Structure 1
Amino acid sequence: MDWLLEPFDVSFIQRALIGGFAVALLCAMVGTWVVLRGMAFLGDAMSHGMLPGIAVALLLGGNPVVGAAVSAAAMAFGVSAMSRHRRLTHDTSIGLLFVGMLAAGVIIISRSRSFAVDLTGILFGDILAVKFSDIWLLCGILAATALVAAIFHRPFTALAFDARKAATLGMRPDLAATVLLLLVTAAMAGSFQVVGTLLVFGLLIAPPAAALPWAKSIPAVMGVAAVLGCVSVMVGILLSWHARTAAGATIAATAVALFFISSAIKAAWPLLRQRRCSPAVPTSADTKPAPTT
């Protein structure tokens, strides 16, 4: 059992584990709504849309989390504004801003002398370099997100299944959609320092998608997704320690692998239940009449 416990005796691994758990809980809460609303492409675009804000903050010596939040909010506002154009579909608007923001971020970072190092750190993060200040920030964002999600649970639920009915019931779907975008922005901005802008998308989508076939309510989906996210963090850190691979990428790959495992089990589940519940077929020896005396 030493190989299992040895990595977690190191202080920076312990910080990475705590920070990863906070990211997993945050992404499970927000990612459930992203998956239910079919906002995966928008979430991917916003993860790239944070790049210019982070780059500007780093070059000016500011807080990269604030830069990420401002840039992601600008991305969400741009998508909303462009989608109102009759000749542009929602996907086209996201795609245009996705490429534009990513290119702008790379151009800004290229002005730095440590271009390759900065770009790699932003895109893929460094969970092994997490500080307690990062953990406290994540906990604050997690608490605020949980409060807002609890307040807007009914509007979010109505919006996820039928926006028109939500408007009929007075749920104000436009406000709910805006608040949900803000939650996605906060989750990504707070998590990118731990697993990077690209890999945070894996924890945002994979655990809720893996939990969705097994849970019968939205809180249950969030709970199962949180467990799967935490398992991904722990297993990913353990694998990266022994295999000497990038921790953030290994965590994201583990989360995606759990999704495919969940899908495979769900697909095979009816056959397993049928085999378990089907009565035993009597053999010829069982049907042979007993000898008379």
Structure 2
Amino acid sequence: MALPYLAGNPLALDFLQRGLLGGALVAILCGVVGTWVVIRGMAFLGEALAHGMLPGVALATVLSAPVILGGALSAVVMSLGIGALQRRARLSYDTSIGMLFVSMLALGVIIISHSGSFASDATAILFGDILAIGSADLVLLFAAAAIGVIVTAAFHRSFVALALDARIATVLGLRPRFAQAALVGLVTLAVVASYQAVGSMLVVGLLLAPAVAASHWSTRIASRMAFASAFGVTAVLLGLLASWYLATAAGASVAAVAILLACVSYAIRAALDLISQRPPRALVPTSQ
């Protein structure tokens, strides 16, 4: 949703305040979960789940049902399908994701194409509408963020062991398969919760970019999560302001700012590393 330029303070408007608060909750959830996505190299899974929820969202839109519920069910089906293909078809992880990714995306477009408002439905589904977040949505987003943080804290040791070596996790009795399922569940939760803010096409940007930006400033997982959440909230704020003053799509603006912050973070870190590695200049005596 793009907004024309208006004078005054945009943050004084109720709908923009709700969008900012909802986007901040999404950013916190994505910052926490996205840190593990980056560490474990699960970006493709996040992208697949974002598109895997498309059929459920499209069907819910056509039937005038809650889109969050439809998206959640579709994402769960996607996750279960990946596991089933791996076990029974004996396909590799990325091959299983790739096959379901394309099939779910195609199914979603087919469902949308039967709607009389194809263009508007497709735009809302693919790019979200953060400015349409209501009070009920804020309650759901707060619950999702709280669940995400609690589950991440509860499985912290299991996730760390799994990232190092699944055999280590098994020896320590940390049940790596259960930990992997919990991590996939967290990614699913983050993708579904982020849907309304930035849509299925841009959700991975908010999931990955803040975590990538944070990775340049800390090696401790807890600190990286905090930095990632801060980068995400900043991206939401700056993205909404850019949307207001530049009359651009709000969800796309948030995702674009998140990517920009990741690039700026990398550039600043690289510059500081270069400066710190530069040998000190020799003192040249001057004649008196």
Amino acid at match of 2:241: L
What residue number does 1:152 align with?
A: 155
Aligned pair in 2 of structure 1 residues 4, 212: CA closer, same or farther (>3 Å)? Answer: farther
What residue number does 1:32 align with?
A: 35
What residue number does 1:126 align with?
A: 129
Q: Distance in 1 between matches of 2:11 and 2:225?
A: 26
What residue number does 2:3 align with?
A: none
Q: Distance in 1 between matches of 2:11 and 2:149?
A: 28
Q: Decide which structure has the larger Cα Rg and report it.
A: 1
What residue number does 1:76 align with?
A: 79
The 5 A counterparts of 1:231-242 are 231-242=234-245
Aligned pair in 2 of structure 1 residues 109, 86: CA closer, same or farther (>3 Å)? Answer: closer
CA deviation after TM superposition for structure 1 residue 56, in Å: 1.7
1:62-113 per-position Cα deviation (integer Å, ceiling 9, x unaligned):
2211111111111111112212357632211111111100000110111111
Aligned pair in 2 of structure 1 residues 215, 5: CA closer, same or farther (>3 Å)? Answer: farther
Q: Distance in 1 between matches of 2:241 and 2:65?
A: 33
What residue number does 1:7 align with?
A: 10
- The list of structure 1 runs, each at least 4 consecutive aligned residues, that deviate by more than 4 angstroms after superposition, is none
84-93 or 182-191, which deviates more: 84-93
Do structure 1's residue 172 and structure 2's residue 175 form an aligned pair? yes
1:268-293 per-position Cα deviation (integer Å, ceiling 9, x unaligned):
22221234xx54422241xx4x7xxx
% same residue: 51
Q: Distance in 1 between matches of 2:156 and 2:281?
A: 48
On the 8 A contact 1:4/1:238 being kept in 2, the answer is no
The 5 A counterparts of 1:1-293 are 6-84=9-87, 88-275=91-278, 278-285=279-286, 288=287
1:7-66 per-position Cα deviation (integer Å, ceiling 9, x unaligned):
212221111111110110010111111111110001001000000111122222322111
CA deviation after TM superposition for structure 1 residue 265, in Å: 2.1
1:93-141 per-position Cα deviation (integer Å, ceiling 9, x unaligned):
1111111000001101111111111111011011111111111110011
Q: Which runs of 5+ in 2 are unaligned?
A: 1-5
Aligned pair in 2 of structure 1 residues 279, 193: CA closer, same or farther (>3 Å)? Answer: closer
238-247 or 51-60, which deviates more: 51-60
1:211-254 per-position Cα deviation (integer Å, ceiling 9, x unaligned):
11211211101000001001101111111111111111011011
Give the root-mean-square deviation of aligned CA atoms: 1.7
Q: Distance in 1 between matches of 2:89 and 2:107?
A: 26
On the 8 A contact 1:155/1:173 being kept in 2, the answer is yes
The alignment's TM-score, normalised by the length of structure 2, stands at 0.93
Q: Distance in 2 between matches of 1:148 and 1:10?
A: 34
